[in-house]
Amino acid sequence: MADFTPPHDPETNPPVGHRVDTTPRPLPARIPHKGQSVDLEVLHTRHIADLWQATQSDPSEASWAYMAYGPFASEAALGGFIGGFATTHDPIAWAIRPHRSGTVDGWLTLMEIQPANAHIEIGHIWFSPRMQRSRAATEAMFLLMRHAMEDLGYRRLTWKCNALNAPSRRAAARLGFTYEGTLRAVMTVKGRRRDTAWFSILAEEWPARAQAIRAWLDDSNWDQAGRPKRPLMAEK
């Protein structure tokens, strides 16, 4: 791979980066977000029963292969996890309620929140198998991406995943994230080596990415059977 030369101020020698707005960005608030096909609710212990049922739709437990936690042996075990996860300030977690099912079918977070650097990440994404590859799944991610980039004005939005997680890598590309590289053997997760792939969207790239996602989510892109007429970006 060719060396990457970062953008720099041409008036400087040696070269340094361009000046940026150093105003710290706001912290995300624990507020709900409503979409066309899905609602995000601040994660709470009241969601445990729905989430337990959602986990039961994955008898293979494949959806947990790249998560740092799970699968959970019982509703009580899941409840213990949710009780703690719902109270953290970084990550901040939302439960995902697709309109079609009316039940909570997963969660996702904003995390690695750095107001001074205008950097934020979307992660801890767990979708039940019945929600994966759905309009609601894409919109759930977009709602938080839009909140971070438009409402809060962050300059850098990141996505990272186990480098072996092919579905997550495809999702990042599909949403318009740029692959930045892989950190080798950077973590140990569930007793196994993890190499982590990194992706990002910058503020100047966001308008085009957002326009493409909005067009894909628009009602005009969906047929009567609930299938998209056009793919989203690099989607296969």
pLDDT digits (tens, 9 = 90+) for 22-31: 999 999 999 9
**Which structural domain range is residue 107 located in?**
33-221
The verdict on residue 113 lying in a domain is yes
Is the pLDDT score of 234 beyond 60? Answer: no
Q: What is the pLDDT of residues 114-146, one digit of tens each?
A: 999 999 999 999 999 999 999 999 999 999 999
Asked if residue 205 lies in contact with residue 176, where contact means CB atoms within 8 angstroms, the answer is yes
Q: What is the domain-level CATH number for residue 133? A: 3.40.630.30
This model's pTM is above 0.75: yes
Confidence of residue 108 (pLDDT cuts 50, 70, 90): very high
DSSP code, position 149: I
Q: What is the pLDDT of residue 2?
A: 57
The verdict on residue 78 lying in a domain is yes
Tokens found for residue 136: 């609601």
Reduced to 3 states (helix: H, G, I; strand: E, B; else coil), residue 144 is: helix
> Kind and range of the H or E element at 39?
strand 38-42
Residue range 226-231: mean pLDDT, rounded: 91
User: How many structural domains does the chain have?
Assistant: 1
Asked if residue 122 lies in contact with residue 109, where contact means CB atoms within 8 angstroms, the answer is yes
Residue range 155-176: mean pLDDT, rounded: 97
The verdict on residue 196 lying in a domain is yes
The burial class, CB within 10 Å (0-12 / 13-18 / 19+), for 39 is buried
Amino acid at 52: W
> Kind and range of the H or E element at 141?
helix 135-146
The verdict on residue 20 lying in a domain is no
The verdict on residue 191 lying in a domain is yes
The verdict on residue 235 lying in a domain is no
